[in-house]
Structure 1
C-alpha cells in the first residue's frame, strides 16, 4: 500500500521597482532563497514532529522542492510533500499554511498574528513553542532578507491565492538582532507563560510595559525555577505574583527588546 502523502504549495515572490527593472541579483537572491529554504525546512520539521531543531538537516518523511521559475516577476514555486506523521495525521492542509503563517510572522516581529486553524490554536496555548521556534528561525531569516537589504522592496511567502507573510525593511530590522547586551538589568513583573521542560516562558515586565519572551541563561540557578512557577499561578497580569528579574536584553536592529535572558529572580 502506497504511503499517504500531503502536498502543500508555497510561493516566494520577490517584487518591487528594482526587480521590475533588472530582475533579481543572482548572489543576493540566491542567498535570500537559501535562508528561506533553511527556515521553511526547520518550520516543516517542527510542524511534522513538534520538535524544534536548530539546523536545517536532511528531512525525513518530507521533501521540499521548487518548480521551474516562470517569466515576469521572480516567482518561485515550492512544493512540500509530507508523510502522515502522528502529529499531522488527520490535519488538513489549512493547518500547514496556518502553522507557516504564525511561525514566520512571530519570527519577524509580527507578534499580533493569531492562528485561525483549531489544530494550530492548540499549539498557541503554549506560546513558548512559537517563541522558541521564532528564535531558531532568525538566523535563516537574516540570510533570507539579504535581497531586501540590497534593494528588493519586499518578498512574500504565499499559499495558493493568498499571502501568508510579507517581508520588507521593517522585518529585516527585527531579525537583524543586536548582540546580547552584556549589561544585566533589574526588572519587575510576573510570569504569564512558562514551560517547565524547556525553561522558556513569557513575562509581563513593568519597565518595558509589555509581555516579552524569556529564556534562562546557562548560569540561571536551577533552584530558582520554582519562583517562575509560583509567579505563574497568579494567572493574570494584575493579580499575578510579582517577581524581580535580573536579565540582559536581546534587541532588534531598531532597538526593540525582543527577549530577556534570565540570570536570576527573586520573589517581589
Structure 2
C-alpha cells in the first residue's frame, strides 16, 4: 500500500442562511462542486506541473469530502497525496506548508489578487529561478492556471450575495485562513464577454513564460501590471519582441511596445487580462 500524506482544507460559509448551518439546495451544491473542482485542478497542477481545464482523474492523489459541521456551514476537503510521486517542475513536495501556499497563491491570483506570490521559501525560490531545474518542467504558470479556474470559481461563488444567502466563503488549512471569497471576488471571476474591438496600448513586458507564452505587461495607460496572452491571430514571429521588451525591463531600461489588444474585464469592467493581436517597437520619444 502506498504511503499517503494527508492535508485538510476547511471550507466555511458565513452570513445569512449559512449561519443556520444550511445552504440553498441548488446554489449550495453548485458551490461545493465548484470549490472541489477548483481544488482538483490546482492539485493536478501541483502534482504534475500541468495546467488542465477540467477535473480529470488525479494520479498519486485524491480529494475526499468530509461531512458538514455545526457553526455557520463548514465542511472539510481531505487531500491525500501519495508519498514520493514522480518528480515534477514543482518538486515532489509533500509538506503541508508548500501545498497550502500553492493553493493560496493559485486561488488569490484567480480571484483578483494579481500580485500574489508564493511565500514559502522552497516555492518562492522555484519561481525566482530564471531557468527551470535540469530535466524538470518549468514552474506552473499561475496566470494560465487562474484562467482555467474561472469556471469552477464562478460556481463556487454562486450563493454569495443571493438574497442574503451567504456573505462570504473562507478556505483554509486547519490553522490558517488561505483565501476569502466575497462580493468583490465574485465580481472578478464573473467575466464580461471579451472586448470585440482592438485598441492600442503602450507598455513593457515584465515577465514572460516561454512554455505557455503568457506574459505580464506594465501598461502605461493603466498604470499597473496586467496579465497578457497571445490571441488566436497573434504571429509567433512577434514573440521575439516580447523577449526584447522583457530584457529591457530586466536591466532597468524598459523597452516599450505598442500592442494591439482586446480586453477581458470583470463584471464591473476592471481589466483582468489582455489578448495580444500584434505588437511593434514603440518609437523613442
C-alpha contact (below 8 Å) 2:14/2:166 kept by paired residues:
yes
Q: Name the count of aligned residue pairs.
A: 267
Structure 1: 4+ residue segments shifted above 6 A: none
Correspondence for 2:118 among 112, 115, 118: 115
TM-score, normalised to structure 1's length? Answer: 0.94
1:68 positional shift: 2.1
Other-structure match for 2:133: none
Change (3 A) 1:68 1:21: closer
Distance (whole Å) between structure 1 residues aligned to residue 159 and residue 223 of structure 2: 34
Other-structure match for 1:267: 281
Report the aligned-residue RMSD.
1.8
Distance (whole Å) between structure 2 residues aligned to residue 181 and residue 238 of structure 1: 32
Query: Can you give the 5+ residue segments of structure 1 that lack an aligned partner in the other structure?
Result: none
Distance (whole Å) between structure 1 residues aligned to residue 175 and residue 3 of structure 2: 25
C-alpha contact (below 8 Å) 2:170/2:177 kept by paired residues:
yes
Distance (whole Å) between structure 2 residues aligned to residue 4 and residue 152 of structure 1: 38
C-alpha contact (below 8 Å) 2:49/2:140 kept by paired residues:
no
C-alpha contact (below 8 Å) 1:16/1:152 kept by paired residues:
yes
Distance (whole Å) between structure 1 residues aligned to residue 22 and residue 94 of structure 2: 38
Deviations 1:170-212 (A, max 9, x none): 1000000111001100011111111122211111110111111
1:237 positional shift: 9.2
1:75 positional shift: 0.7
Query: Can you give the 5+ residue segments of structure 2 that lack an aligned partner in the other structure?
Result: 130-138
Change (3 A) 1:72 1:128: closer
Other-structure match for 1:133: 145
Matches within 5 A, 1:55-66: 55-66=54-65
Say whether 1:101 aligns with 2:104: yes
Distance (whole Å) between structure 2 residues aligned to residue 8 and residue 219 of structure 1: 43
Matches within 5 A, 1:14-33: 14-21=13-20, 23-33=22-32
TM-score, normalised to structure 2's length? Answer: 0.89
